[in-house]
A and B are shown apart, each in its own frame.
Chain A
Amino acid sequence: MLEVNNIEVVYMSVIQVLRGVSLEVGDGKIVALLGANGAGKTTTLKAISGMLKTEEGEVTVGTINFDGKRLDRYGPEAIAGMGISQAMEGRRVLEHLTVEENLLVGAYCRKDRAGVKEDLEVVFDYFPKVKHLRRRVSGYLSGGEQQMLVIGRALMARPKLMLLDEPSLGLAPLMVQDIYEIIKRINADQKMAILLVEQNARAALGIADYGYVMENGRVALGGPADKLRDNEDVREFYLGLSAVGSKKSYRDVKHYHRRKRWLA
């Protein structure tokens, strides 16, 4: 349903961030986008959601297709209307609004009032913790609750594709596990495609169908999630597991990594 074809992104007409990124998200699939800091994961998401245009970024080469439409030609509001909703990095709740108002903002573009009410209950069903806090000012919620609220808000638009940017950022391991289980459930119940940007490769590959690894503005590696989990490089660089469990000198790793980059 979503196809990113070899896009290049340039900020402020000079800073090139993406140098040819291609990826694909199929109907109802969870796709993980992994990579180190500054690899271009968030920029890829912003290129898809059109948010680049608000930050003086631009897709200069390549196309982004979503259900037969060229997304790179539309602004963020129009793209949201096509059924893509984004939960941005860093738990961006609307601090002075209540929890319920936050969720209603997510459903702003929908016309069916009854459906919105139903979905409010659906969201509360996924996140029972949030239900008790519905009249609270959202700025005072804990980090985990805010992350739930942000995912819930993205869900309220009843999108076809949800873009999640680092849902595990700054959360305790148990909370990460909770949130990932819920993401998996949402994907299974709603048949909603999810594109997941993550540093936490272990958690992301645990629920994803397919994964991509980005490096220096390029996709360095792509494949089914279980294959990626077994891939030596991914195990070594992202999961922190050494290939044979034996000691390895830092020099070898560095050299190996450098060679890998040249090849990519």
Chain B
Amino acid sequence: MNFFLQLVVTGLALGMVYALVAIGFVIILKCSNAFNIAQGHFVLIGGYLGYTFLVPFGLPIWASLILAIAVAVVMGLLIERLAIRPLVGQPELAMIMMTIALATVLEGLATLIWGGEYKTYHGVLPTVTLKLGQISIPPESLIGLIVSVVTVALLMALFRYTKIGLAMRATAEDLQVVQSVGIKATTVYAVSWVIACVVGVIGGMLLGGVSGVMIPLAEIGLKAFAVVLLGGVNSIGGAIVAGIILGVLENVAAGYLDPLLPGGGLAQIFPFIVMIIVLIFRPYGLFGLVRIERI
């Protein structure tokens, strides 16, 4: 039982990070109607940034986090200005192609700057281990849980209570209406890309602490994609729930199923199997936006 709870708790932390990355997906999907293939590469950059600030620079974790977020903001603004703005009003496919290009460029940049080597900052984080009865929560999980919960809460508040949040939700519904009342679409896009970059980079820092950073970390984007599909492509709440489900499933599968099969690896595919089963019964995902039909 303790083993199970232990797996659930660390899975919860992992799942929150997945959810965080998935929110980046959902935001771009909502404002531009395009899948952002480069979301996983934001994560990759985040991991390397985390390594750079924590290890060679030797900064404390909070300072590294703030610096990484600052870099992410600049990255988001640059991406919007240089790559996305010229494509506003073009077919969605053009936008998706552009995100593929972005993914390639970011991967190239990462190789160029960090050499594409395996970097780790596993031991750098403070080694507090929280004990809850028999369960111990490792520091990476604890930090991941706190940071991602706070970030998600801040984002939810942004959408719900601020003017720019309202503008973003309105843009997701009808771009022309939004332009006709004088909201600048470019501002909304810029904010969306900044948020996508920031959540990606934060997620990358947190995941990098657990598993180390290498180019394949970008594949986390695929997992976030699964989270988004499971949760319903345009629901932020759905992304959070689905992220947690997948994180916990992955961890529990790793704990119980991997020892059964020689070579392991079942944990990696188990969440996807669950996703496929759910999608067969609920093609819009768990919390897909209800299509409003008046009777």
Contacts and interface: CB of A to CB of B under 8 A. Distances in A.
Contact of A140 (B163, B166, B292): B292
A97 B173 contact: yes
A92 B180 CA distance: 11
Given A54-B89, A95-B292, A96-B173, A85 B179 contact: no
A95 B173 contact: yes
B180 A94 contact: no
Interface in A53-99: 54, 56, 75-78, 80-81, 85-86, 88, 92, 94-97
B131 interface: no
Interface stretch (B2-10, B61-69, B144-152, B181-189): B181-189
A172 interface: no
Contacts of B279: none
B177 A88 contact: yes
A39 interface: no
A220 interface: no
Which bucket holds chain A's interface residue count?
20 to 34
B123 to A, nearest CB: 47
Interface in A88-112: 88, 92, 94-97, 101, 104-106, 108-109
A142 interface: yes
Interface string B139-175: 0000000000000000000000001001101100111
B183 A108 contact: yes
The CB with the most chain B CB atoms within 10 A, among A88, A92, A108, A139, is that of A108
B181 A105 contact: yes
A239 interface: no
A153 interface: yes
B289 interface: yes
Interface in A15-52: 49, 51
A72 to B, nearest CB: 16
A49 B169 contact: no
A21 B200 CA distance: 51
A97 B170 contact: yes
A137 interface: yes
A72 B177 CA distance: 19
A77 B167 CA distance: 13
Contact of B166 (A51, A56, A105, A157): A105
B228 to A, nearest CB: 18
B179 to A, nearest CB: 4
A76 B180 contact: yes
Contact of A96 (B175, B176, B292): B292
B182 A109 contact: yes
Contacts of B29: none
A101 B166 contact: yes
B55 interface: no
B183 A54 contact: no
B89 A80 contact: no
B87 to A, nearest CB: 13
B233 to A, nearest CB: 14
Nearest to A104: B166
A165 B185 CA distance: 22
B95 to A, nearest CB: 16
A104 B163 CA distance: 9
Contacts of A51: 176, 179-180
Contact of A94 (B177, B179, B294): B177
Interface of B: 89, 163, 166-167, 169-170, 173-185, 289, 292, 294
18 contacts: A54-B89, A54-B179, A56-B89, A76-B180, A80-B182, A86-B180, A94-B173, A94-B177, A95-B173, A97-B166, A101-B166, A101-B169, A104-B166, A105-B166, A105-B181, A108-B166, A140-B292, A140-B294
Given A51-B179, A77-B179, A80-B179, 12 more contacts: A54-B175, A56-B89, A75-B179, A77-B184, A81-B182, A88-B176, A94-B169, A94-B177, A95-B292, A97-B166, A97-B170, A105-B181
